[in-house]
Amino acid sequence: MGLSKKDMDRRKHTLKAKLEELQKKVDMDPLKRDRRLHEEYEEVRKKLAELE
Nearest to 27 by CA among 37, 12, 17: 37
pLDDT of residue 34: 95
Residues 6 or more apart whose CB falls under 8 angstroms from that of 3 comprise 11
Average pLDDT over residues 3-23: 95
pLDDT of residue 16: 97
Report the distance separating Cα 6 and Cα 12, nearest Å. 10
Q: Which residue has the higher pLDDT, 3 or 25?
A: 25
pLDDT, tens digit, for every residue of 15-45?
999 999 999 999 999 999 999 999 999 999 9
Do the Cβ atoms of 3 and 21 come closer than 8 Å?
Answer: no
